[in-house]
Amino acid sequence: MRSGASRGVRRSADWGSVMLRRRIRSALYIDFENVPLPPDAIANWLAWLEDGVFDSPSRKRRFLQKRVYWNSHAERNRAIFERHGFAPILIGKYSGLKNGADIRMAMDVIETTYTRSEIDEFILLTGDSDFVPVLERLRLKAKRSAIVATEHRPNIHTTYHRRADILIPSRRLTEAAQYHRPSVSLFARIFARTHVKAAASPTVPRASSEGTVAMAARSVARRPNVGAGTDEKAADATPVLEAAAKQVLQLLVRQPRNYVAQKRVVAELEQVEGFKRQGPTAFFGTGSYKSLIRELTKIEPKITVVEQPGGGTGIVFIPQNGEAPSAAGLSSSVAPRESIMRLPMPARETEPKPGDVVADGSACSEPNMQPAETDASEPIKASQREIVASQGV
């Protein structure tokens, strides 16, 4: 009986963690003529996409933008698509010319990366094979991408596999049209709500049984101390992210006050074990370059993020006043040029006049003649005396 109850608690905990996970902010683009998505099953396949069934971690999506591209023959479906939040785009069809839906879709995707920087992922449901430049531009902008690929065309499948983060097999779209969202049990919803309250409360909740009190005590023991500050944040960071933050900081310190391009940062991160550009564990599990940089700034505050006007993410190292390279945990071999100290020049002495008595008791008989110094520990003054003596002669 106890084992069954514990399994139920574990399943409820899994549901709670899934419900607490933040949804991916995505944009959906559909080429209606090239993708077999029936309009009468729009609620099914849209729920399939929102629940992230096509992705192995099953991360839920929140679509900030939904567009469908079609010609005049599909205008009869406008009402049902608009009810589900889509913006239908009518593409004119001209005699003897190719359908321009793919070109219009590609232009809108690139434009959206500049106008809607909050969108992290672009899902492209199209059967065309000429979206490789779009995928490359999305990767350059540190955006996730998902696209439909057909298995019976292996060359296109391989090309998309190298450039897209997620490949959606075309055969799975039939499964999407028959999808029904599973209902969450009442117990799972109540447990998830209680889990949120317990995580927000710093005190131990009251319990009526000894077993419940023991479970609450163990959860409080595992709960991090909110007042620990930056030390607690560093303790929560994984060793992989700490190594990545150190690697990026070493790159930035070599050229302080200068923005470093994403390509150089990614090349530096590839030296860290476990780094991948695509797949479920892309960018150490954060999903994108921008999200990874945000996590690294929490670990290493010396990494400064500056949002670019076009929606990109720039990083730079700005040394503080009097900050030495060792302050960043680096060796002197990578010290910036600003940190090299130069010896100050000694103050210019007043030239003695003829007949004046100098410090050693001797008289200066000729103009522009400095008295001899006996201190051999000052090479700078000795060199000055040689120059003055040569001028006097």
Judge contact between 48 and 10, C-beta under 8 A.
no
Print burial letters for 224-244: b (CB count within 10 Å at least 16), e (below 16): eeeeeeeeeeeeebeeebebb
What is each CA distance from 38 to 94, 177, 366, in whole angstroms? 25, 7, 107
Judge contact between 109 and 131, C-beta under 8 A.
no
pLDDT, tens digit (0-9, with 9 covering 90-100), for 178-190 = 999 887 655 565 6
pLDDT, tens digit (0-9, with 9 covering 90-100), for 218-264 = 544 444 444 444 444 444 447 888 888 888 888 888 888 787 888 88
Long-range pairs, 191-194, Cβ under 8 A, ≥24: 191/9, 191/12, 191/13, 191/15, 191/16, 192/12, 192/15, 192/16, 192/19, 192/20
Q: SS3 for 61-96, per residue?
A: EEEEEEEEEECHHHHHHHHHHHHCCCEEEECCCCCC
pLDDT band at 333 (very low <50, low <70, confident <90, very high): very low
Q: Which domains does the chain have, with CATH numbers?
A: 2-177 (3.40.50.1010), 186-223 (no CATH), 234-339 (3.30.420), 347-393 (no CATH)
Q: Which DSSP category does 133 fall into? A: H
pLDDT, tens digit (0-9, with 9 covering 90-100), for 311-326 = 567 788 887 765 555 4
pLDDT, tens digit (0-9, with 9 covering 90-100), for 192-226 = 556 555 555 554 444 444 455 455 445 444 444 44
0.85 surpassed by pTM:
no
